């Protein structure tokens, strides 16, 4: 009986040892098993099989005994007797014992096998273990299994949190702080001063880091007057480090004045890399809404955390350089979305007056200052109030503009082009949901970056991965305590690799105007306060030079020389021509509304022309004070490609930024077209189509339902179809345009809005998602130091042709030339399908001479003016239905000012 049971059990174990690992591989894949298990998959299968054999043997014995008794087979003994070995010949005895041997071995191995297998795995990690995975602790707990102890001394304190440079603050604030920074926090609290872009301010939401496989130790001191704790969501913990008191578990809160030590074992699985939210547990909602939260980031095993400016080791901060010994180094930004107080809480200004709950006069925001990022908020209310308090007009289209208002206090991530970058977004609040949205088109990320992990490196890609395994995103919703890691495709600057300021904000309109916005500044040349990644020491961004530093440089196949030294146009290019083609036309703006010129100048020197920017402003306001008021700074250039170094401008309060050069070009920095000498030019030389869409924003009553009409409906329409939409021949519906993968799209946007529907000052732009473009002029939004990308209604200029123009004309006659000057760009036929852009070379009375003949005829009364903007996009991947919308006023969406760009397969 025993030998039969042993044979059955042995066969069962053999089959289990073979098929169990195969099933595991089929279900999870060898890579996933390798990074999450502590032993070889075949050893694990053998152990499981032998353990199963031990369990099955007595069950099989009982079953066989029951069957024998049922079938009347007599078993000798008292009651019954079992012979281990039936009477048989000696020659067969060895075989029978051999059949029973697997069962005996199973019992022995089941006792020692798991220990032996675990020890074997710990001595020799599986060959499939991914680079960067931490060594697994013997017992699964890095705090008791030999993990590196990473220790932080943290306190919870009361603090009056400064929200911005305007003096708004939350006097009921709380924060976690490293003990060594408490004195610095108190000093900043007393000064109420904050840095633009949230640099090293002591008062900021706490971000600490640990590596996968570390034992995280926090010595927590509660300096509040109520119980408090630290509870990290998503990490395993023992009950004495829960930061709570649940059921019969021990109380792991710290009483006022008490110090308590928490210990957390961090995972070793590389997939556990990312951000983890922490807060005080229990009845802490008011504490959390006023700042008592923070973030832990688990970095790849063995990583070092370096200061973004000095590359010295750092202990905390929202931005860092992560040096990964087993992978690529990357720049990291930890962004925390949160509210300031609950919906009944007050925000106070610098004079301790309450900010309005509803800002109906200036920005239209609900609770300005209450939507924050890492303890900073930059409400449009404060920016517009600078002009309104002085009795001067302000422009809602420029709320994000650093040229008009200075850099915000909210976190401004900074990078060099091509840097691998990870953004960790978290929700630190407790009431509302938010949506992180990053502008810049092809500055996307994968929903699951592990599917194609190499995509966040690589730089310029005019043909990115098609039919990606994971969806590309440029927005991510998040609720309280949620955290996500975004690995940006192609690195900083996106797949188009453009320098510029890339807006990011909560995509809920009320939230971003209330302060929840900033931008990512991507440089093309070295900055004195931004270190390069260690991986890029061999190929750092170049040091910028002034225009004299470009003399003799070979740029796009030709040597740059001063114009008076040009001898061979086939191998040389005039430096003046090269530089001035990049800059807006020169001139002093007529007023704050004039965007046609930029007040740069040229100084001739013995070695060549020196180009200078406009004089620095002498005005001082909370967001800006020039160190050299009235002086012209040198315009700096990238010596590798000859382009102006980003950013080009300095702030000038309330001034409209200039339109871009070359006819309000949509790609002033990248260049509209690519070539062998300019591989990053926006539209590659092989594009099959350039699709032109003249678009006009119009207003008309729109039938919403059978019994409801929106009297101030707003639509984007093709300029050629606007009359048909107005007279009912075409339906009043959102505009849809199309392109194929590989196409370029050229937009000329004009406006026929009515000032009376926009508080006397109508403006419109068009913001596109997902496709490649130059953010300096084709994002639609005037972000940071970007060019003007919004327009007034062209009818406000009141300028038309007085006689029809025919194809080939270089001179046109208009009813007036007020506000025009030579060198600027105008549109002929604004609002028409055949609008043309030309440069004014001369003005004689009311006759305007153009830089080149017209390509088509234009009727008398055709509009002529400067209020137009051009966008240029490159459809690099099959993005499907891509949303575009007005970004001057989110309330315009309610009236219909949005549409779709559908990117079709090639």
Q: Mean of the pLDDT values across residues 309-324? A: 98
Please state, as a whole number, how many other Cβ atoms lie within 10 Å of the Cβ of residue 629: 12
Number of folded domains that form the chain? 3
Secondary structure of residue 828 in the 3-state scheme: strand
Under 8 Å between Cβ of 510 and 504:
no
Q: Are residues 768 and 881 in the same domain?
A: yes
pLDDT above 90: residue 451 = no
pLDDT of 826-852, one tens digit each?
999 999 999 999 999 999 999 999 999
How far is it, in rounded angstroms, from Cα 874 to Cα 365?
A: 34
What's phi and psi for 187, nearest 5 deg? -70, -45
In a domain, 664, yes or no: no
Distance CA 9, CA 883 (A): 63
Bridge-based pairing state of the strands 572-574 and 558-561 = parallel
pLDDT exceeds 80 at position 68: no
Q: Which residue in 590, 589, 585, 617 sits closest to 601, CA to CA?
A: 585
Whole-number pLDDT of residue 146: 87
State residue 37's pLDDT score: 40
Residues 750 and 884 in one domain: yes
Q: What is the pLDDT of residue 81?
A: 46
* pLDDT, position 40: 56
558-563 mean pLDDT:
98
Check residue 20 and give its pLDDT: 60
Query: Which of 471, 502, 523 delimits the end of a domain?
Result: 523
Q: What is the average per-residue pLDDT within 527-552?
A: 97
- Average pLDDT (631-639) is 99
Question: Which phi and psi (to 5°) does residue 28 adopt?
Answer: -120, -20
Q: Is 75 inside a domain boundary?
A: yes
Residues 319, 454, single domain; the answer is: yes
Which tens digits make up the pLDDT trace of 95-131? 444 445 544 444 444 444 443 333 333 333 333 333 3
- The band of 285, judged by pLDDT with boundaries at 50, 70 and 90, is confident
Report whether 829 contacts 838 (CB < 8 A). no
Question: Of the residues 523, 540, 564, which one is the last residue of a structural domain?
Answer: 523
Average pLDDT over the chain, rounded to an integer: 89
- Domain membership of residue 288 as a residue range: 149-523
* Assigned domain for 731 exists: yes
Q: Both 309 and 369 in a single domain? A: yes
Averaged over 573-596, what is the pLDDT? 98
Q: How does pLDDT run across 407-440, given as a tens digit for each residue?
A: 999 999 999 999 999 999 999 998 899 999 999 9
| DSSP3 helix / strand / coil % (the chain, rounded to 5) | 20, 30, 50
Residue 707 belongs to a domain: yes
* Same domain (yes/no): 41, 84: yes
Q: Are 714 and 753 in contact (CB under 8 A)?
A: yes
Read off the CATH number of the domain in which 899 is found: 2.60.40.420
Helices (H) and strands (E) in the chain, counts: 12, 39
> Of 214, 212, 97, which is closest to residue 149 (Cα–Cα)?
214
591 assigned to some structural domain: no
Residues 789, 657: Cα–Cα separation, whole Å: 9
In a domain, 668, yes or no: no
Is 864 in a helix, a strand, or coil? strand
353 domain-assigned = yes
Tell me if 719 sits within 8 A of 750, measured CB to CB.
yes
Give the model's confidence band at 141: pLDDT under 50 very low, under 70 low, under 90 confident, else very high. confident
Q: Do residues 385 and 397 make contact, with C-beta atoms less than 8 angstroms apart?
A: no
Query: What torsion, rounded to 10 degrees, do the Cα atoms 437, 440, 443, 447 define?
Result: 30
pLDDT over threshold 60, residue 506: yes
State yes or no: pLDDT of 63 exceeds 70.
Answer: no
Angle subtended at Cα 683 by Cα 682 and Cα 687, rounded to the nearest 5 degrees: 160
Q: Is the peptide bond before 647 cis (omega within 30 degrees of 0)?
A: yes
Tell me how crowded residue 509 is: count the other CB atoms within 10 A of its CB.
Answer: 19
φ, ψ of residue 781 to 5 degrees: the values are: -105, 140
Residues 741 and 802 in one domain: yes
Confidence label for 136 from pLDDT (cuts 50, 70 and 90): low
Q: 227 with 260: CB under 8 angstroms?
A: no
Question: Model pTM?
Answer: 0.85
Domain boundary among 523, 557, 590: 523
Do 679 and 460 meet the contact criterion of CB atoms below 8 Å apart?
yes
pLDDT of residue 1: 59
Q: Which pLDDT belongs to residue 95?
A: 45
Question: Residue by residue, what is the 3-state secondary structure of 747-792?
Answer: EEEEECCCHHHCCCCCCECCEECCCECCCCCCCCCCCECCCCCCEC
pLDDT at 323: 98
d(Cα 867, Cα 843) in Å, to the nearest integer?
A: 19
Q: What is the pLDDT of residue 140?
A: 75
- 165 with 254, same domain? yes
- If asked whether residues 483 and 369 sit together in one domain, one would say yes
Indicate whether 294 and 167 sit together in one domain. yes
Q: Are residues 174 and 116 both part of a single domain?
A: no
- 97 and 219 in one domain? no
> Strand 898-904's sheet: what is its strand order?
735-740, 898-904, 880-885, 767-768
Query: If pLDDT is split at 50, 70 and 90, which confidence band does 450 have?
Result: confident
Q: For residues 163-185, give the mean pLDDT.
A: 98
Lowest mean pLDDT among 39-53, 550-564, 737-751, 871-885: 39-53
**Which DSSP letter does residue 508 get?**
S
For residues 160 and 97, membership in a common domain is answered with: no
pLDDT at residue 139, rounded to an integer:
62
The span from the CA of 599 to the CA of 582, in Å, is 14
Whether residue 628 lies inside any domain: the answer is: no
- The residues facing 899 across adjacent strands are 735, 884
């Amino acid at each position: 009986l025993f030998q039969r049971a042993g044979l059955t059990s042995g066969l069962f174990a053999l089959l289990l040892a073979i098929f169990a690992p195969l099933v595991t591989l089929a279900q999870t894949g060898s890579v996933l098993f390798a990074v999450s298990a502590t032993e070889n998959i075949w050893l694990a299968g053998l152990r499981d099989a032998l353990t199963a054999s031990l369990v099955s043997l007595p069950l099989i014995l009982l079953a066989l005994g029951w069957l024998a008794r049922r079938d009347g087979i007599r078993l000798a003994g008292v009651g019954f007797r079992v012979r281990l070995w039936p009477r048989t010949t000696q020659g067969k005895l060895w075989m029978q014992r051999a059949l029973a041997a697997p069962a005996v071995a199973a019992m022995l191995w089941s006792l020692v096998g798991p220990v032996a297998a675990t020890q074997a795995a710990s001595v020799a990690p599986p060959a499939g273990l991914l680079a960067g995975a931490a060594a697994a602790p013997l017992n699964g707990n890095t705090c008791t299994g030999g993990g590196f102890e990473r220790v932080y001394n943290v306190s919870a304190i009361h603090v009056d949190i400064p929200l911005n440079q305007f003096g708004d603050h939350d006097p009921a604030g709380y924060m976690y702080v490293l003990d060594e920074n408490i004195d610095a926090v108190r000093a900043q609290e007393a000064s109420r001063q904050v840095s633009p872009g949230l640099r090293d301010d002591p008062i900021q939401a706490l971000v600490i880091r640990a590596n996968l496989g570390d034992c995280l130790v926090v010595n927590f001191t509660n300096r509040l007057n109520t119980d408090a704790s630290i509870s990290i969501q998503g990490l395993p913990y023992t009950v004495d480090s829960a930061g709570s008191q649940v059921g019969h578990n021990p109380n792991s809160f710290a009483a006022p004045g008490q110090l308590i030590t928490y210990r957390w074992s961090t995972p070793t699985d590389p997939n556990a890399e990312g951000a983890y939210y922490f807060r005080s547990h229990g009845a802490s909602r008011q504490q959390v809404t006023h700042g008592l939260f923070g973030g832990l980031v688990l970095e790849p095993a063995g990583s070092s955390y370096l200061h973004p400016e000095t590359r010295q080791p750092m202990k905390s901060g929202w931005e860092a350089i992560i040096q990964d010994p087993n992978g690529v180094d990357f720049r990291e930004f930890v962004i925390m979305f949160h509210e300031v107080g609950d919906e009944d809480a007050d925000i106070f200004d610098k004079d301790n007056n309450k900010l309005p709950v509803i800002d109906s006069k200036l920005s239209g925001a609900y609770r300005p200052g209450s939507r924050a990022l890492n303890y900073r908020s930059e409400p449009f209310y404060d920016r517009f109030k600078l002009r309104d308090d002085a009795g001067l007009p302000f422009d809602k289209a420029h709320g994000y503009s650093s040229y008009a208002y200075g850099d915000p206090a909210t976190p401004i991530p900074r990078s060099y082009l091509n840097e691998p970058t990870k953004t960790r977004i978290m929700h630190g609040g407790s009431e509302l949901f938010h949506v992180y949205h990053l502008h810049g088109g092809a500055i996307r990320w994968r929903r699951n970056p592990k599917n194609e992990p190499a995509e966040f490196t690589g730089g310029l890609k005019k043909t990115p991965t098609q039919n990606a395994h994971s969806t590309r995103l440029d927005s991510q919703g998040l609720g309280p305590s949620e955290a996500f890691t975004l690995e940006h495709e192609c690195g900083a600057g996106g797949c188009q690799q453009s320098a510029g300021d890339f807006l990011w904000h909560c995509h809920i309109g009320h939230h971003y105007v209330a302060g929840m916005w900033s931008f990512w500044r991507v440089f093309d040349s070295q900055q004195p306060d931004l270190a390069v990644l260690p991986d890029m020491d061999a190929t750092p961004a170049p040091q910028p030079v002034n225009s004299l530093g470009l003399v003799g440089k070979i740029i796009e196949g030709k040597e740059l020389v001063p114009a008076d030294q040009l001898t061979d146009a086939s191998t040389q290019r005039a430096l003046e021509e090269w530089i001035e083609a990049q800059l807006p036309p020169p001139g002093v703006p007529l007023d704050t509304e004039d965007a046609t010129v930029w007040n740069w100048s040229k100084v001739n020197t013995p070695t060549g022309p020196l180009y200078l920017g406009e004089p620095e402003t002498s005005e001082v306001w909370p967001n800006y004070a020039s160190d050299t008021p009235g002086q012209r700074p040198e315009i700096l250039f990238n010596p590798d490609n000859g382009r102006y170094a980003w950013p080009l401008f300095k702030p000038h309060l309330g001034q409209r930024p200039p339109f871009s050069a070359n006819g309000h070009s949509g790609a002033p920095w990248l260049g509209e077209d690519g070539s062998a000498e300019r591989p990053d030019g926006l539209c590659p030389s092989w594009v099959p189509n350039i699709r032109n869409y003249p678009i006009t924003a119009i207003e008309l009553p729109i039938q919403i339902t059978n019994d409801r009409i929106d009297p101030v409906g707003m639509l984007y329409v093709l300029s050629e179809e606007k009359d048909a939409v107005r007279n009912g021949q075409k339906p009043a519906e959102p505009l849809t345009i199309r392109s194929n993968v590989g196409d370029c799209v050229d937009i000329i946007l004009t406006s026929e809005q009515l000032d009376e529907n926009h508080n006397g000052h109508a403006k419109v732009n068009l913001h596109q998602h997902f496709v490649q473009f130059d953010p300096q002029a084709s994002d639609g939004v005037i972000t940071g130091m970007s060019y003007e990308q919004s327009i007034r209604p062209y009818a406000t200029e009141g300028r038309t042709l007085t006689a029809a123009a025919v194809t080939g004309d270089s001179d046109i006659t208009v009813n007036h030339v007020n506000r025009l000057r030579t060198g600027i760009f105008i549109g002929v036929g604004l609002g028409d399908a055949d609008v043309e852009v030309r440069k004014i070379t001369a003005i004689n009375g009311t006759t305007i001479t153009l830089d080149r003949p017209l390509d088509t005829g234009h009727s008398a009364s055709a509009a002529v003016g400067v209020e137009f903007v051009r966008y240029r996009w490159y459809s690099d991947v099959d993005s499907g239905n891509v949303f575009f919308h007005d970004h001057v006023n989110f309330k315009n969406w309610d009236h219909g000012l949005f549409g779709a760009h559908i990117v079709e397969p090639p």
